[in-house]
Amino acid sequence: MPHSPVVHLVRRADLPGLAVVALAVVLAFVGEAIAGVSSLVVGVVLGAIVANTGVMTARFRPGISFASKRLLRTGIVLLGLRLSFDEMRELGVGGVVAVVIVVVATFLGVQALARAMGLSSGLGLLVATGYSICGASAVAAMAPLSDADEEEAAYAIGLVTLCGSLSILVLPLLGRAIGLDDQTFGTWVGAGVHDVGQVTATATAYSEAALVPATLVKLTRVLLLAPMVFGVGLAVRRRRQDRGSTAAGGHADVPGARVPIVPLFVAGFLATIALRATGWLSADALSAAETAEQILLTAGMFGLGAGIDLGRLRRLGGRPLALGLVSWIFVAGAALVAAVAIT
């Protein structure tokens, strides 16, 4: 069943876990201020620590689950307020086409890598979505339509945050070694780094001038989140209807067949893009919304991190980590080719 990201009454049973989430969010932002690491990354790490050190008892699980679903999806809705259709026009038709090609190529390519490594289609879909669009937020948007369980979703989050964080250290060094100018480097980062915060950090580590093209290209990628989820949702719905027809003698109305083409929170994401385009919101309102978005996404990342079972991940072996690293190199290479081509 689809879940509303906004309308949900907090139950008394959620409160202890939400208190832990609130503390984790504060610590994540402190960590970001001190170490310069995205609060989303810190949130995932804190969640994994809590989950694997015996701290998280059954009492805290309902509230932490609330954060990983409702709060995270509300944060994704607010993410739409970062986008402006006017900014996309500055990129030009050629630039937009190049970004779309990179997104589609990496989305399909990462899934092909996952299949070649013998990994589940659900994990492959989530990693591909996170790497090609906007990191952890995209994984969360696609998760309801995938066959991945919560641990695989958390693992996908871990991979995109790990490799996106590596980009902050590695890509500026490579850019200087190659001799890229600010425009080309910024375009490369915007096309190849996963999370919006990681894009900002990587670009500014190179130069302030690289930040503008990096942000523009990145937000263009984020804009592709809704059509990608729409396409996958349509495919999943048709596939489950076909299975239902076969199993029920021609009747597709079976449990699981009615998958929403666009989850409610993704529709909300589109609505906030449209709201931003009206120009009705002041700069202060947009700034406040961005702060709320970061708080909610950090809370959600903590909740997803708390779903990581390191014991099970060890049993999965090194293939998922290999998928993440190989995919990171693949996406960076495709993005570099596109950046050189359009600048």
pLDDT of residue 37: 75
pLDDT tens-digit map of 70-118: 898 888 788 878 776 666 677 778 888 888 999 999 999 999 999 999 9
- Taking a C-beta distance cutoff of 8 angstroms, is the pair 140, 72 a contact? yes
- Taking a C-beta distance cutoff of 8 angstroms, is the pair 47, 17 a contact? no
Backbone angles phi, psi at 90, to 5 degrees: -65, -25
pLDDT of residue 312: 63
pLDDT tens-digit map of 20-32: 999 999 999 999 8
Higher pLDDT, 265 or 298: 298
Whole-prediction pTM value?
Answer: 0.70
Residues 111 and 220: their CA atoms lie apart, in Å, by 22
Mean pLDDT of 228-243: 79
Angle at 77 between CA 73 and CA 79, to 5 degrees: 110
Q: What is the mean pLDDT of the chain?
A: 82
Work out the percent of the chain whose per-residue pLDDT is above 90: 32
pLDDT band, residue 248 (cuts 50/70/90): very low
Residues 307 and 149: their CA atoms lie apart, in Å, by 10
DSSP 10: P
Mean pLDDT of 30-58: 84
Higher pLDDT, 183 or 151: 183
Mean pLDDT of 243-268: 52
pLDDT tens-digit map of 118-145: 999 999 999 999 999 888 778 888 888 8
The amino acid at 281: L
Residue 185 has pLDDT above 80, yes or no: yes
User: Assign residue 332 a region: left if phi > 0, alpha if psi is -120 to 50, beta otherwise?
Assistant: alpha
pLDDT of residue 244: 59
Which residues are within 8 A (CB) of 329 and not within 5 positions of it... i.e. 6 or more apart?
A: none
pLDDT of residue 7: 42
pLDDT tens-digit map of 287-325: 999 999 889 988 988 887 787 777 766 666 688 889 999
Task: Locate 195 and state its tokens.
Answer: 């999370």
Residues 65 and 17: their CA atoms lie apart, in Å, by 8
Q: Where are the alpha helices (DSSP H) in the chain?
A: 15-35, 39-52, 61-66, 72-79, 85-116, 121-132, 136-142, 150-178, 182-192, 196-206, 211-223, 225-247, 264-278, 283-305, 310-316, 319-342
Mean pLDDT of 251-264: 46
pLDDT of residue 189: 95
